[in-house]
Amino acid sequence: MTPYRGCGRRVRRKTENTVGVIGMAVIEDVRALGAALERSYEVYVRGRLKFRVGQLVYVAFSLDETVMGFAFPREERAALVASDPLRFQLPSASDLRFNWVHADLAALDSTESRELVVDAWRMVVPKKVSRAYDLAHPGGPG
């Protein structure tokens, strides 16, 4: 199934063979998770895959699907980026006002990318919804 842009043109999905690359995160790792999280849905905006709860975007991918942007507490993002600047980057200067961090998908493993998605989702849903998720998944998104 090929997703459509808002203008009606088909968007070509990047398909690379990831056989032999153990643990590297790919967009499909988080796609099923994002669609399964309560109140979450996926949208394409200008050809970019994004996950939303209501109108709040909590995860977005670059056009080439190599970078994942995700919601992250503003107070903690400098420490996250400083801990591993090759994996995590701050957004552009115009986007610094948002609670947002970028991550290089190739540098993340699939488990870590799923944990980042769930943590970003927690920022945009009511606490009772995230507590229900914790009860249903005591081992995390793994």
Strands lying side by side in the sheet with 56-61: 40-45, 48-53, 56-61, 67-71, 100-104, 88-89
- Give the domain extent around 96: 27-133
Residues 117 and 70: beta-carbon distance below 8 Å: yes
Cβ count within 10 A of residue 120: 26
117 in a domain, yes or no? yes
What is the model's pLDDT at position 9?
28
57 in a domain, yes or no? yes
What is the model's pLDDT at position 23?
65
Count the helix, strand and coil residues of the chain and give each as a percent rounded to the nearest 5: 35, 25, 40
- Model-level pTM? 0.79
62 in a domain, yes or no? yes
13 in a domain, yes or no? no
- CATH code where residue 75 lies: 3.90.1150.30
Burial 21-52 (b: 16+ CB within 10 A, else e): eeeebbbebbbebbeebeebeeeeeeebbbbb
CA–CA–CA angle 109, 77, 74 (5° rounding):
130
10 in a domain, yes or no? no
What is the model's pLDDT at position 15?
33
Higher pLDDT, 135 or 18: 135
Whether the predicted pLDDT of 20 surpasses 60: no
Helix crossing, 110-122 with 27-36: angle to 10°? 30
Cβ count within 10 A of residue 81: 17
Phi-psi region of 39 (alpha: psi -120 to 50; beta: other; left: phi over 0): left
Number of domains comprising the chain? 1
Say which DSSP state 61 is in.
Answer: E
89 in a domain, yes or no? yes
111 in a domain, yes or no? yes
84 in a domain, yes or no? yes
